[in-house]
Structure formats: C-alpha cells, structure tokens
Amino acid sequence: MPPQKEWCQVCGAKHPAQEACPEDISPTGPERHSWRTTVNMRRGHETVGVVVAPAGNRWRARIVTYPSDFWTVSRGTAVMKFYADDPESAEKEAIDHIEAYIQKSGLTRAAEFLPVRFGSGADPDGKIGRRLCGWKIRFGHNTMNQEAVLGNASERGLFVQTENPLPAGSVVRLELDADGTRIPLRGTVAWVRVSRDTGRLAGMGVRLVRPPAMYLDSVKKLT
C-alpha cells in the first residue's frame, strides 16, 4: 500500500510525510484561470474556481473563491496547491477536491464546472482590460499603513478589497506585491463600497496616475 499523503503546512501540497518537502512551489510562468463553478453556500452563492501555472517542469493548481480568496490548508495559512506533471492533471485534482468538499459539507452546485473565458482581456482601444488577481497591497494617504488584497487590476485602475476604504476623491499611495515584486503606485479613489451588498466585497476603486511599466507588465501576465 502506498504511503498516505497529508497536507503540508509548509508547501501547501500533499505528499507522504517521509517525502522531502519542496518548501516553495512558485510559478515559473503566468497563472491563468481555468475552470469555475457557482456553489450554493450557506451564506449565499459563491463562485469557486481553479487557477493553474507552470512550476518548473511540472504544473501547479490552486483553488480560489472569487475574486481573491485562495483556499488554505486546514488549520493553517499555507495556500492549498495541487502539483502534477501536466496542467490537466493539476486542474482535475483541484476540481476533485472542490467536489469532495461540496459533498462532505452537504452543499450543492448551482452550475456545472465551465472553462473560464475572459475574452482578450483588452478594451476596444487596445488597452489592458480588467483582470482578476489576489496580490497583496499596502495603501494610505501619506504613509502606507493599511494592508489589503487586490481584487482586480487594469491599465487604468484597480479594485482594493478592504473593509476600511479611503473616502472617494482621496489621493492614495499604494505598494503592490506582485508575486514578490514590490511596485509603488499613485492614484485617486474613484468610488467606495463600504459594506457587503448581495455578495459583493467591500473596497475601493482606484484610478491610477501614470502607472510604471513594471505594473503594466505584471497585469499583462494575468491572462
């Protein structure tokens, strides 16, 4: 009988206890959204999906509750990862885990698993359109003393998921952690959502002022 695989609190993947932990399963290429479904959770409908990326000579899949809540290993902070030799196998392991969770929790799906199609990701004028992500971000008026998660990003602006948004019209400084690359940004708060409304997350939309090239390059990789 093969050894039982357990979730690792370090790398976030499943491997036998006696197997050496890879410690870091970082992507070596762009992470793309692959499959998603809608689940009838006890607190309402939630969209759950799978994102996949190359990781060395293998592939890594993660589960996300949209827009940016990645599933973690039970009783831990490590983001759950599914590691396989090809993207289809990694995706299947993640989808099978979602299905098992739904069945075990007595939940139901409101829709089938469908491939994600976000289109070209560009506006008609060729600009970069809105793309989902889950990067960490710090922000504030003069000092960046608040931490949050980035729900989506585009060439012109971004959505900061936070329960403490700045007032509309505020000038805001931001520092984005795009998979380990820190990117300074400036902008103006265009609109604010201060409470959860029909499942929509609280936060603020920020209109960026002259975003640097490294930010635009990072957003392009989110296709």
Residue 24 domain flag: yes
**Is there a single domain that holds both residue 25 and residue 82?**
yes
For 119-140, how does the pLDDT look when each residue is reduced to its tens digit (9 = 90+)? 334 333 345 556 777 788 999 9
Give pLDDT, residue 190: 87
**Greater pLDDT, 115 or 106:** 106
**Is there a single domain that holds both residue 27 and residue 103?**
yes
**Is there a single domain that holds both residue 70 and residue 24?**
yes
Residue 124 domain flag: no
Residues 192-220, mean pLDDT to the nearest whole number: 79
Structural domain for 54, as ranges: 5-115
Residue 169 makes CB contacts below 8 A (sequence gap 6+) with 188, 189
**Is there a single domain that holds both residue 101 and residue 63?**
yes
Residue 122 domain flag: no
For 69-89, how does the pLDDT look when each residue is reduced to its tens digit (9 = 90+)? 889 887 667 889 998 888 889
Last-in-domain residue among 115, 139, 154: 115
**Is there a single domain that holds both residue 79 and residue 165?**
no
**Is there a single domain that holds both residue 75 and residue 164?**
no
Distances (CA, A) of 132 to 34, 99, 197, 208, 213: 12, 23, 19, 17, 19
Of 176, 170, 173, 169, which is closest to residue 152 (Cα–Cα)? 176
**How many domains does the chain divide into?**
2
CB 119 within 8 A of CB 128: no
Last-in-domain residue among 87, 115, 143: 115
Residue 120 domain flag: no
Give pLDDT, residue 15: 75
**Is there a single domain that holds both residue 29 and residue 96?**
yes
In this model, does residue 4 exceed pLDDT 70?
A: no
Residue 125 domain flag: no
Last-in-domain residue among 115, 146, 179: 115
**Is there a single domain that holds both residue 89 and residue 191?**
no
In this model, does residue 197 exceed pLDDT 50?
A: no
The CATH number that applies at residue 215 is 2.40.10.220
Most confident of 76-85, 149-158, 163-172: 163-172
**Greater pLDDT, 22 or 167:** 167
CB 187 within 8 A of CB 150: no
pTM exceeds 0.85: no
**Is there a single domain that holds both residue 82 and residue 137?**
no
Handedness of CA 51, 57, 58, 60 (dihedral sign): negative
Residue 156 domain flag: yes
**Is there a single domain that holds both residue 94 and residue 52?**
yes
Residues 51-67, mean pLDDT to the nearest whole number: 88
**Is there a single domain that holds both residue 161 and residue 203?**
yes
In this model, does residue 110 exceed pLDDT 50?
A: yes
**Is there a single domain that holds both residue 163 and residue 104?**
no
Residue 151 domain flag: yes
Residues 165-176, mean pLDDT to the nearest whole number: 92
